[in-house]
Chains A and B, each alone.
Chain A
Amino acid sequence: MADCTYTVPDPEATGDALYGPRICYQPFINWAWPTHGFNNSWWQDGWGYDDVCNIRKPLARCLNAVWLLTYSADDYQNDDWGTDALHWGGRYVREQLKYYDDLRADCGDGGAVATTTGCQWSRQWNEWRCTAGYEETKRECRTWHWLFSWICHLYAEVKNFVCTLWGWVAVGACTLWYGTVGGGQNVTLSLLFFYPTGTVGGGAVGGGNRDVIARAGTLIHEARHIGDKPHNGNFPAGSIYGAGGGGADSDWNYAGAWMYEVLYLWWFYAAGTRTSIAMRQSAKQEANVILTNAFSTSPGFLVP
């Protein structure tokens, strides 16, 4: 008996029937495998390594999302960073996943659809919090009288030095841990990334939207977490994710994982090609759900 089981929904309605024939191309698989850091040993035992074109199995369903991320811009060869999220989204996911080089599949616990495990939490100390804290203190120093402001500026420099030093210690210890006994830094896609319903440990799980564009959005979201940005806010009043609980982005300008996900979904809805009306409509609605539920301070706009 398998550790977890799944029910395959209608492959046309999830978009898998549209993308399935496209991924079944050895040059694409040969390219996607190393560039996204797929870990061979985590895709065996029913996860699809031995049947890569079978869209009923998890691996093909993941590759469908990778294909969408790669080819949905009309001029897909242009993934320049100066373009829009539809163009650079796939490149960003590749760069981030390649950094960990360990994309796994696992049953999960029936809760999260994906988890990012690694040193992103310690890296954000010196690459985000120290810089932000330093600039905030410097701003405050400018409000002090010039006779005393030098004390404030000195304090800002010392604080930044200690913070950065702590960041490096934390990163070093964390990297050592994951590089030895910690099991490696990785992104793990759970059963609920691939399927809307199934069982884990004998209990029924799911009920979500797991079409191809939703999977692509999850990859963008997790990639942003690798990029040193944890959630930094509480969900707003009335949020379906749990009002007042942690896990939101403070606002749109924080440029966190929710913002990246919405931005990609929005561009995909507005300009996505080689896809379907149903996929684009799904992207639009999901973007609006996130915009109204996942930011502590409302971004102030909706997808029309």
Chain B
Amino acid sequence: MWGVVAIAGLGTILAAVLMTLRRRTTVGEVASYRADVGPELARYIEVVNSVNDQRDAAYVRAVEALRGSTDDVLSDATRLLSDKSDAPFALRHSTLLALGAMRDPATLDILSDVALNPQPLPPRETGSRLGPIAQGHGAEALEASTILALDALDGVEALADDGNAAALETLAEAAVVDSNAVRAVALAALAAKADRSPHLERAMAEMPEELRHLAQLRRVSVEDVPQVEDPRVHLAGEERGGANAPDIDDGAPRPGGTTAPEHGAPPIRGG
């Protein structure tokens, strides 16, 4: 009798183990996306993704080159940012930064279109796959399109700062777009200058009651928001420490150092 119980117990444990074991999955590349754009926009994308200061000589030259070929840049941007484009987020982000950097009223139509119509990026059927657990961690497509709308809105605000009346009108329209982030940033832009108060009041009049708090958000410096006072109290367990990261020379690895993998780390192929 006890033998049967023991076998049943072992069987149950074995079944539980088998049920909980997760199979390692395999993955493979099927395609890559390369932008087909003119040399000026291609050069800007390269530079804006490699330098960290708008005063950098390479960046200044890249922006001047964009301004010297407005028609080509606008044509590429229209194609990449259209609803039918399959361009991924990062390329659209860099393209919108290019349009904003030009500070040219000719860019306003494209910027307005992106700022006022945040649409999920392809593949657009993603939302249907989300279960309740994925909520908040699974709205990637909407999050990305909202970031792009904010990129565009920055460009619109820069034009409004230059005195462009149509850009100011776009800011007012953005303040009533069905997106918390777009609304909040547009309202903050309208609140930034006293002469924009008629536009701000008009936008506020159209704002649903439950979203009025968005007009209270203020642009502040990161030093002025509450910080985490001591992250150690938020550690899961005792601090473990460990070796310091290898030293670097301005981004580049220092010459020398081991070439052999350690601690189970993968080896550099050919290293």
A interface residues, Cβ below 8 angstroms from B: 2-10, 12-15, 17-18, 21-22, 24-35, 38, 40-53, 56-59, 70-71, 76-77, 81-82, 84-85, 88, 90, 92, 94-96, 98-100, 105-107, 109-115, 120, 123, 181-183, 191-192, 196-197, 199, 203-211, 224, 226-229, 231, 235-242, 245-248, 252-253, 255, 259-260, 263, 266-267, 269-270, 272-282, 285-286, 288-289, 291-294, 298-304
Whether A270 contacts B27 by the Cβ 8 Å rule is no
**B139 contacts the other chain (Cβ, under 8 Å)?**
yes
Whether B251 contacts A22 by the Cβ 8 Å rule is yes
Instruction: Tell me, rounded to whole Å, the shortest Cβ–Cβ distance linking A292 to chain B.
Output: 4
Whether B136 contacts A248 by the Cβ 8 Å rule is yes
**B240 contacts the other chain (Cβ, under 8 Å)?**
yes
B interface residues, Cβ below 8 angstroms from A: 13, 16-17, 20-22, 24-35, 45-46, 48-54, 59, 88-91, 93-94, 97, 120-126, 129-147, 150-151, 154, 178-181, 183-185, 188, 208, 210-211, 213-214, 216-222, 224-228, 230-232, 234-237, 239-240, 242-248, 250-253, 257-269, 271
A211 CA / B94 CA spacing, docked (Å): 11
Tally the A-B contacts, defined by beta carbons under 8 Å: 415
Instruction: Tell me, rounded to whole Å, the shortest Cβ–Cβ distance linking A17 to chain B.
Output: 7
Instruction: Tell me, rounded to whole Å, the shortest Cβ–Cβ distance linking A289 to chain B.
Output: 5
| Interface SS of chain A | mixed
Whether B265 contacts A281 by the Cβ 8 Å rule is no
Whether B266 contacts A211 by the Cβ 8 Å rule is no
A57 CA / B246 CA spacing, docked (Å): 23
A288 CA / B219 CA spacing, docked (Å): 10
Whether A26 contacts B258 by the Cβ 8 Å rule is yes
Whether A29 contacts B20 by the Cβ 8 Å rule is no
**Top 7 A-B pairs ranked by shortest CB distance?**
A208-B140, A247-B136, A207-B141, A111-B134, A33-B265, A13-B90, A304-B219
Whether A85 contacts B228 by the Cβ 8 Å rule is yes
B257 CB contacts on chain A under 8 angstroms: 25-27
